[in-house]
Amino acid sequence: MATPEKCFLDFLYLNPNIQTDSHFYELRLNIADVKSAIDFDLFEKYLSVFNSKALSNRAAIFIHFLGNNS
């Protein structure tokens, strides 16, 4: 079974059209649940395995979104 970190990265990888805070807002995520489910150190480790600048940019926007919508 995939971890929450891997699931979110796979989702970002498979949906390159998600590129702004407003795109993440439209997903109607429960921010508190997402923050409690994700180990951000593990998220970063998995992200480095993808070795994708585009995915890294989307992941940074995702993390920024989570930080601005507490």
pLDDT of 8-64, one tens digit each?
Answer: 999 999 999 999 999 999 999 999 999 999 999 999 999 999 999 999 999 999 999
pLDDT at 5 (0 to 100): 97
| Per-domain residue ranges of the chain | 4-68
The answer to whether residues 12 and 46 touch, using CB atoms and an 8 Å cutoff, is: no
> What span, in angstroms and rounded, lies between the C-alpha atoms of 46 and 5?
8
> What span, in angstroms and rounded, lies between the C-alpha atoms of 62 and 15?
12
- Tell me the helices (H) and strands (E) count for the chain, helix number first: 5, 0
- Band (70; pLDDT cuts 50, 70, 90): low
